[in-house]
A = this chain, B = another copy of it.
Amino acid sequence: MAGSEVTFGHPEGVNVGDTFDNYKQLNAEGVHRSNQGGISGTEHDGADSIVISHGYPDDVDLGDEIIYTGHGGQNKSGKQIKDQEMTRGNLALVRNQLEGIPVRVIRGPARNNPSAPISGYRYDGLYLVESHWHEIGSAGFRIWRYRLVRSEVGRENPPPAAIEPIGLNGGNESPRRATILVQRIVRDTKQAKEIKRKYRHRCQVCGTFIETEAGRYAEAAHIRPLGKPHNGPDKPQNILCLCPNHHVMFDLGVFSINDDFSLVGIPGRLTRGKWHDISVEHLRYHRKHFSADKRALTLGEE
């Protein structure tokens, strides 16, 4: 809205679970600043709120976890008629991911969604953008996808175990503390450990390792991500040993890996142990869905 600043987080005076009749009310209460559904926010600051309704047939709503579809490319009757671009709200949601900014989620009425309200628009609290990728949607065009995870137990829903009341002892010097609820993959630690140890914790892209008082540190990166909707396996064929920098870059699609282990997006080639049978199928999946590089969009196949 013209003149109104983008405000992140819980709106003043609004509780998780509060329901509103229409967009005008959502707007007046600072829950959703747009007069229509979709993504509110800016490319520069990130998205402050989104509305989930029946607009996108590709959305998957699991309650605490949402596979959300970006906007654009639809005609007036809501039919997808072209590719979605990485601009406006779609870009804003990536900024949320990059900077860990929570987005308000509002659910509108949708008959086929058990998590949706029967009528009206319900404020369902804050979610974090865990990842984003692109795919060909049910209409045959490219759509951007975001995995959102619920970031807080609602104000009315305190966590079951006894915890300290929010608020620390340091007065205004101390930031607020909150309890967050995150969907997380239980990784097979043995597989990840094994891969990291075999590479002696050296990054397969740059050779870096981090030496600490308790031994070396590296990160196990899954090529095809674990969990819905990617369902990558937690097996050596799908695991790389990377430094934190290259892990972030790989997950964000800054680079991908070709079938011959040369890199796409950045120069170089993956170092690979002879024992390590990295899956070409999973490398292709990553190139196809995560690479931000146009060459990969063209060359990707699966």
Taking Cβ atoms with an 8 Å cutoff, the residues of A that contact B are 8-9, 43, 62-65, 86, 91, 94-95, 98-101, 114-115, 150-151, 153-154, 157, 159-164, 168-170, 173-189, 192-193, 208, 210-215, 217, 226-228, 231, 233-235, 243-245, 247-249, 252-254, 292
Contact = CB atoms under 8 A, between A and B. Distances in A.
A95 B173 CA distance: 32
A203 B98 CA distance: 15
Nearest to A166: B186
Contact of A150 (B161, B183, B213): B161
List 5 tightest A-B contacts by C-beta distance, closest first.
Answer: A94-B214, A244-B244, A157-B160, A213-B292, A63-B162
Contact of A64 (B179, B187, B211): B179
A175 B168 contact: no
9 contacts: A62-B164, A64-B161, A64-B179, A86-B213, A100-B189, A175-B188, A180-B182, A180-B183, A244-B245
A161 B268 CA distance: 46
Q: Chain copies in the assembly?
A: 2
Contacts of A178: 184, 186
A246 to B, nearest CB: 9
Contacts of A100: 187, 189
Contacts of A161: 63-64, 150, 154, 157
Contact of A212 (B94, B184, B210): B94
A175 B187 contact: yes
A56 to B, nearest CB: 19
Given A217-B248, A234-B175, A244-B244, A153 B163 contact: no
Contacts of A8: 189
Given A99-B189, A99-B192, A212-B252, A179 B183 contact: yes
B214 A98 contact: yes
B292 A164 contact: no
B248 A174 contact: no
Contacts of A43: 214
Interface centre among A43, A175, A188, A243 (most CB of B within 10 A): A175
Contacts of A180: 181-184
Contacts of A233: 170, 173-175
Interface centre among A170, A186, A193 (most CB of B within 10 A): A186
